[in-house]
Amino acid sequence: MLKMPCLWGKLRLNNMKKKHITIVGGGIAGCMTAMELVKRGCRVTVVERNQIASQTSGESSWAGAGLAFPLLPWMYRDEVNQLALAGANLYQSVSAQLLQETGIDPEYMQSGMLIKPPFDETVATQWCMRNHVPFEKTGDDLLLPQVAQIRNPRLLQALKQWLLSHKVTLLENTQLLPIANTTTLNQWKTTRGETLEADLFIVTSGAWSYELLKETAVNLTIKPMRGQILLYQIPVNTLPHIVYQDGFYLLQRRDGYLLAGSTLEDVGFDTSVTEAAKLEMQAKAEAILPALKGMSIHKHWSGLRPGTPENLPTISQHPTIANLYLNTGHFRYGVTMAPASAKLICDLIFGEKPEIDPTPYRCLS
């Protein structure tokens, strides 16, 4: 493997293409970043402590609902929405490419999102007009017809297949240890005592990112925020739109599976599911869709979101380690943001002018 060059900050496109980049974490942030790097000609390794596209211990990307849009975006800062909308706009083409090149369908569907009261209609419609998001008033509800969903476990399977077919090295069941403070990172140790070398590393380790980097001079606030979800199996096309009401949503997949979620819990790395949350979510789901009454719950799971203040991710070079980058902390909208976030981190690495101003996502020491 190549040794680290010392003038890292001056690396540009052609130089970068020869480099070996290792990504730490094989969730949606890691896999989408790997895909973008491959498209730009890099040699890429993804290190994942479990299996990519599976759920073992709280990985958020598998567990999420796959709504490709923020819930009530007018409640968030513009910096959150600009990344989410940019990601949402890329999904149709990413999904079509993955289907065509892997045969695995991520099931992108523009099913629209129906928002039920309570919500501030004036604020909502003004936000939609300002951001060119089409909307329709239907009685007391607001329909955003272009909002899409994606089946995230399938999306991950497709990404994994795509990465394998593009000669990306996937080091699964390989966990990296926290790193110490340094100025350049030549090697990174695994829990099995192996040493991985690369020219540049990118941390995409979701809720576990802070644990990996806390010994370095970094001002990073990421903590796990558990989310639980229920899965029902009901007749196909029962729910034509994603439905959102009062912090809760229902969405149906093509084959009839219906997701009802989710909770937002600050319980550390505890990935268990609780009876109390199940009963509460069941009641909310039945209030929106009375046909669910008496139906059995097919599955109940949880995931650990990479929680950050104000839902703002970190997409940035590390403040003191020159060849370390971070693409993490996407909290509630990591699936939505992933394609745009991957482009942004790659633009920063390649020294290209990003379409999105990177300042709000910068990591400070």
**Site of interaction with ligand FAD (CB under 6 A):** 24-30, 47-50, 59-61, 63-67, 175-176, 204-208, 212, 227, 229, 261-262, 303, 305-306, 328, 330-336
Measuring CA to CA, which residue among 261, 363, 354, 246 is closest to residue 312?
A: 363
Contact 65, 229 (CB under 8 A): yes
Q: Shortest approach of ligand FAD to residue 255 CB, angstroms?
A: 18
Nearer to ligand FAD, 11 or 111 (CB): 111
Tell whether omega for the bond before 111 is within 30 degrees of 0, i.e. cis: no
Nearer to ligand FAD, 160 or 332 (CB): 332
Q: Shortest approach of ligand FAD to residue 102 CB, angstroms?
A: 19
CA 124 to chain centroid, in Å, comes to 24
Q: Shortest approach of ligand FAD to residue 233 CB, angstroms?
A: 18
Nearer to ligand FAD, 262 or 316 (CB): 262
Q: Which residues contact 5 (CB under 8 A, 6 or more apart)?
A: 11, 199
Phi first, then psi, for residue 166 (nearest 5°) are -105, 25
Nearer to ligand FAD, 27 or 360 (CB): 27
Nearer to ligand FAD, 113 or 349 (CB): 113
- The pair of three-digit structure tokens given for residue 75, joined into one six-digit string: 């409640």
Q: Shortest approach of ligand FAD to residue 55 CB, angstroms?
A: 9
Q: Shortest approach of ligand FAD to residue 122 CB, angstroms?
A: 26
Rounded-to-integer distance, Cα 206 and Cα 25, Å: 7
Beta bridge partners of 349: none
Q: Look up residue 45 and give its amino acid.
A: T
Contact 23, 43 (CB under 8 A): no
Q: Shortest approach of ligand FAD to residue 66 CB, angstroms?
A: 5
Q: Shortest approach of ligand FAD to residue 52 CB, angstroms?
A: 7
Contact 179, 120 (CB under 8 A): no
Q: Shortest approach of ligand FAD to residue 67 CB, angstroms?
A: 3
Q: Shortest approach of ligand FAD to residue 13 CB, angstroms?
A: 26
Contact 183, 322 (CB under 8 A): yes
Nearer to ligand FAD, 11 or 317 (CB): 317
Nearer to ligand FAD, 57 or 126 (CB): 57
Nearer to ligand FAD, 27 or 199 (CB): 27
Nearer to ligand FAD, 47 or 345 (CB): 47
Between the CA atoms of 324, 325, 329 and 330, what dihedral angle is there, to the nearest 10 degrees?
Answer: -160
Rounded-to-integer distance, Cα 162 and Cα 116, Å: 38
Q: Where are the beta strands (DSSP E) in 175-245?
A: 187-189, 195-197, 200-203, 223-233, 242-245
Rounded-to-integer distance, Cα 165 and Cα 35, Å: 11
Q: Look up residue 325 and give its amino acid.
A: Y
The number of CA neighbours under 13 Å toward the Cβ of 214 is 9
Nearer to ligand FAD, 66 or 112 (CB): 66
Q: Shortest approach of ligand FAD to residue 14 CB, angstroms?
A: 29
| DSSP for 2-40, written as a single string | PPPPS-GGG--HHHHHT-EEEEE--SHHHHHHHHHHHHT
